[in-house]
Amino acid sequence: MFIDRNLLNQLNKDIFGGGIYQTKKLVPDYERVIMPDPSLPKIKRYNITSNNPLGYLMTANVQPVNQPPMQSQIQESMPPQEVVEPPQQELYSQKENQDEVVEEQKEEIVEEEVPPPQAQEVVEETKKYVISDLGENNVLLPPGYSTDDEYEYKLINLLNESRNNYELAVEEDNIKVYKKKDDSGVQLLKVYGTIPYPISRIKPVLMDTPGMDKWDKTFKKHEVIQKYPAENGMEREIIYLYLKMPVFMTDREVVQENRTFSEYNGNPSNFLRIMKSTTNSKYPVQEKPIRAEVLIGGIYLKELSPQETSIIVINNLDLKMTTGKDLADKKAPESAKDYVKNLSKYVGKN
């Protein structure tokens, strides 16, 4: 076996007084120990253990008789103490307790879970349209008046636009009809007139859509498809209009949204209706009649006195015509004039 040289020297010195063992050099720092004859009377066997630097366990049966053993030798020679293991039932109990603790920790973790952050709602800023003075100021509004309704903005600007930008098409009594082409090439009509009655008599006639069959000869049918509750002084409805065309031409139809302010800008003497095309499932687009489009339209009333009310009508109707367009544009101003004329007559009779 192998033994550390320092340990060997210590054994020779303390126990045997040195020189009892014969040694033979193997490698530096290590010696082979040649044990003496075990029949020698002064030798008894004791177990002394030590670990050499290379990790080997060494055992030397070297201890003289009648010499007390060293304290370190006694401690090393003591039999190992018996390890008392807990009963198996107690082990199971401890494991169950540990499992319960783990489960409780899992529950606590679940309870403490942080919900994922909710996506923030993106709120788009509403665009404001400032009404400008374009020449006539037919619609009187507070300075800097603005709206988030694009069609209200367009209509007010058309109502206030100077008639110098138009061509006079028809004039009869107190009614004048002006025309021009819009940016898309569709004819736009602007009608000026006066009605010799207070505004309180005209409003109910315009609010009765089905009753318009009695005096509006432009359209053959006026049907209310859907009506909404009034909100912020505005009444809203979806209507269906049927337009009878001349012979050899296909009839037209319109699905239109009306937004009406019976007291526009909080003034009982003002009335405004905004009109534009929309859609509705009751009347889907079909091949015939052809679906015309109201690009923008409107009616504005302003009471001038208890005996007179001014009216301005805007009509920008695209009939979707490929042939006969010039003829239709020529007849349209006459129809616009008749609209105001027939309205005045009907109010006078009712």
Residue 296 domain-assigned (yes or no): yes
* Residue 123 scores a pLDDT above 70: no
Residues 234, 170 share a domain: yes
Q: The domain containing residue 18 runs over which residues?
A: 2-77
Per-residue pLDDT, averaged over 77-91, amounts to: 55
Residue 94 domain-assigned (yes or no): no
Residues 154, 65 share a domain: no
**How much is the mean pLDDT over the chain?**
78
The pLDDT tens digits of the residues spanning 285-330 come to: 999 999 999 999 999 999 999 999 999 999 999 999 988 889 889 9
Residues 320, 247 share a domain: yes
The whole-angstrom separation of Cα 348 and Cα 350 is 6
Residues 160, 25 share a domain: no
Is the model more confident about 271 or about 80? 271
Residues 201, 65 share a domain: no
Is the model more confident about 220 or about 27? 220
Residue 193 domain-assigned (yes or no): yes
Among the three residues 59, 77, 95, which one is the final residue of a domain in this structure? 77
Residue 226 domain-assigned (yes or no): yes
Using a pLDDT cut of 90, give the percent of the chain over it. Answer: 49
Long-range pairs for 231-234 at CB < 8 Å and ≥24 separation? 233/261, 233/262, 233/263, 233/266, 234/259, 234/260, 234/261
Taking residue 143's Cβ as centre, other Cβ atoms within 10 Å add up to 6
Residues 154, 28 share a domain: no
* Residue 224 scores a pLDDT above 80: yes
Q: What is the DSSP letter of 128?
A: -
Residue 324 domain-assigned (yes or no): yes
Task: Please give the pLDDT value at position 156.
Answer: 92
Task: Please give the pLDDT value at position 88.
Answer: 55
Residue 88 domain-assigned (yes or no): no
Q: Where are the alpha helices (DSSP H) in 47-147?
A: 71-77, 88-111
Among the three residues 41, 60, 77, which one is the final residue of a domain in this structure? 77
Residues 153, 56 share a domain: no
CATH number of the domain residue 339 falls in: 3.30.530.20
Residues 163, 45 share a domain: no
Per-residue pLDDT, averaged over 220-227, amounts to: 96
Structure confidence at residue 29 as a pLDDT band (50, 70, 90): very low
Q: Give CA angle at 142 (137, 146), nearest 5°.
A: 95
Q: Give the number of domains in the chain.
A: 2
Q: Which of 56-70, 112-126, 230-244, 331-345 has the lowest mean pLDDT?
A: 56-70
Is the model more confident about 208 or about 45? 208
Q: What is the pTM of this model?
A: 0.64
H/E stretch holding 325 reads helix 325-349
Per-residue pLDDT, averaged over 140-151, amounts to: 80
Residues 136, 62 share a domain: no
Residue 97 domain-assigned (yes or no): no
Residue 165 domain-assigned (yes or no): yes
Residues 264, 133 share a domain: yes
Residue type at 330 in one-letter notation: K
* Residue 248 scores a pLDDT above 90: no
CB-based contact 300:311 (threshold 8 Å): yes
Q: What is the DSSP letter of 34?
A: E
Specify the length of the chain in residues: 350
Strands 252-261 and 290-291: parallel
Residues 269, 139 share a domain: yes
Residues 135, 51 share a domain: no
* Residue 118 scores a pLDDT above 60: yes
